[in-house]
Amino acid sequence: MEAKEEDVSLGANKYPERQPIGIAAQSQDDGKDYKEPPPAPLFEPGELTSWSFYRAGIAEFIATFLFLYITVLTVMGVLKGPTKCQTVGIQGIAWAFGGMIFALVYCTAGISGGHINPAVTFGLFLARKLSLTRAVFYIIMQTLGAIAGAAVVKAFENKNHFFELNGGGANSVAHGYTKGSGLGAEIIGTFVLVYTVFSATDAKRSARDSHVPILAPLPIGFAVFLVHLATIPITGTGINPARSLGAAIIYNKKHAWDDHWIFWVGPFIGAALAALYHVVVIRAIPFKNK
């Protein structure tokens, strides 16, 4: 048993990087079960000459492409059915979003951290988990991937202009709800997601509960599923600015742009609040060593 524990200790973080999003980082320091990882610098010039930096960006592009392809195609399938009883319905749409996040975070966590969402990247940047250079690069690649994914869906589903006549999967505030309600739904929904990301990937929690394996993609995907169940009737559920922008650009009708600001402002506020809550309240990092 001791030999196995030693193997795990030696194998953990063989190639030390900043804490990835999809796996719980583990660390030991002279008998202590946990050491606070250092904050990421604002700018790391060395990243721009590293292949791993660009490989991570490519992984974010592909993951967001696949995310939009599966999820928007699912939405189109529900709209195509004569009745929702003959399709997967809202529950199926929510499962498509949550399930894809689970799968894609699992696949890309060891390469890029598995963000797949500018709001997640923004929240982690505010918590000093990655540099500004990497954050900007990730957001650009996520946005391009989302546009490409939505474009492929349009190519498949635009017979008789079906894609354009049915909204193209673009987000908007539903009739009967105010812009304030839509903004609030996006803020709270993104807070749930980013708070879950911080909690599921917390290095201290991993060290403290090292006897309990933590599979971070599962709670993250489940959080996305639950938020979609709650807010699809309100905004169609954004909580991911790249997802909202990709669908809006490919659909490109006035309806898609009227409330589009909500799907950037809301997620970024929600991510900032989740980062603040995790760093100041849950971890109390500003108050340590005082």
* Domain annotation covers residue 94: yes
* Domain annotation covers residue 10: no
Residue 79's identity, in one-letter code, is L
Question: Do residues 106 and 66 touch, judged by C-beta distance below 8 A?
Answer: no
* Domain annotation covers residue 124: yes
% of the chain residues with pLDDT over 70: 83
Query: pLDDT of 15-47, one tens digit each?
Result: 444 555 544 444 444 445 567 778 888 888 888
Rg (CA), the chain: 20
Query: pLDDT of 161-179, one tens digit each?
Result: 888 888 899 999 999 999 9
- Kindly indicate the confidence band of residue 211, based on its pLDDT and cuts at 50, 70 and 90: very low
Cα separation, 178 vs 167, in Å, equals 19
Cα separation, 113 vs 124, in Å, equals 11
Question: Domain containing 195: what range?
Answer: 49-281
* Domain annotation covers residue 92: yes
Q: Which stretch of 9-18, 69-78, 100-109 has the lowest confidence by average pLDDT?
A: 9-18
Q: Into how many domains does the chain fold? A: 1
* Domain annotation covers residue 4: no
In sequence order, the β-bridge partners of residue 29 are 32
Task: Give pLDDT, residue 202.
Answer: 83
* Domain annotation covers residue 74: yes
Across 121-133, average pLDDT: 95
Q: Which stretch of 48-62, 147-161, 185-199 has the lowest confidence by average pLDDT?
A: 147-161
* Domain annotation covers residue 11: no
Question: Do residues 49 and 36 touch, judged by C-beta distance below 8 A?
Answer: no
- Kindly indicate the confidence band of residue 62, based on its pLDDT and cuts at 50, 70 and 90: very high
| CATH number of the domain within which 182 lies | 1.20.1080.10
* Domain annotation covers residue 37: no
